[in-house]
Amino acid sequence: MLPELKIAQLRYFVLVAELKSFHAAARQACRTQPAISLAVRELEQKLDQALVEKGGGRVELTPFGEHCLPLFRGLLEQHDRIAREVTLLAHHEIGQVSIATVPSVASRLLPGPLARFVAEHPNVQVSIQDATAERVQQLLAQGQVDFGISSLWLADEQVDFAPILHDQVGVVCRADHPLAQAGEALHWSQLKGLAMVRNGTSRLLEGSEAETLLAHSRLFVSNMISLIAMLEQGVGISTLPYLAFPLENEKLAFLPLAAPKVERQIGLLTRRGRSLSPAAQALRVFLQAQMGQQGLG
């Protein structure tokens, strides 16, 4: 049966061996000399071998003690390294965090807060995957990310959703389109008869008075770059949440849909009943606070 070695006993023996004195070792360890002597003696009893030569004023190691000294030093170094790393992990000073988010959040809401978090925690590595709301939820369920930032695609009893902000849906069209020239919030009836280009967020109209517009749409574009290109060419109009609208695009206009008022909730998704690592929890709390201050409604 292997002996159970106590770190304190190993540390005291190494001090005695290096300082060649029980008295000096006791002083450096802030312990009494009898306590140091007892620790070394108990270690010898566990090993069933003498580590220190008996008698004489100056401490000398036995051949067995000389052989054990570098082994004990290595064990102490390994112990201290692990203790430091675990402490840093516990205080979220190091670690790896993986999150998934919808592209609109990744481009509009995350850059500022994430830059501040990384600056404050330079040893925490963060990876981001952008995907559709459905895919974000899938990645979370599969355990491929620590948490997600998205709207809730489907109700799932395994997922906790903490809302952060509301993102209003509006109509997107060319800046020279008659709708844009009116320059006012729109009623869904004003969109009747117009060519509607559906996209992945068009499902937000389902269950509202404007749902009928989807039934008459003949074009669906899932890729945002392609959708914007289509809208710029005047192929039709579309609906998008405000965060998904490219503000820098001068060719297009965003007009709030006032009746019905349709919104998506953006929030944090986590796996129910599963704890986050200290680093992931720190980032989740930080982003929740920072993004909440950027609320759109």
CA pair distance 106, 100, nearest whole angstrom:
9
Q: What is the pLDDT of residues 151-173, one digit of tens each?
A: 887 888 889 999 999 999 999 99
CA pair distance 48, 97, nearest whole angstrom:
47
pLDDT number for residue 185: 80
CA proximity to 145, closest of 280, 267, 285, 259: 280
Q: Is pLDDT above 50 for 30?
A: yes
Q: What is the pLDDT of residues 244-269, one digit of tens each?
A: 999 999 999 999 999 999 999 999 99
Q: Which pTM does this prediction carry? A: 0.71
Q: Which residues of 113-134 are buried (b: 16+ CB within 10 A; e: fewer)?
A: bbeebeeebeebebeeebbbbe
Q: Mind listing the domains of the chain with CATH numbers?
A: 7-90 (1.10.10.10), 95-164+270-292 (3.40.190.10), 165-264 (3.40.190.10)
For the chain, list the strands marked E by DSSP. 95-101, 124-130, 147-150, 159-174, 186-187, 197-198, 219-220, 238-241, 252-259, 263-271
CA pair distance 187, 81, nearest whole angstrom:
64
The three-point CA angle 275-78-123 to 5° equals 50
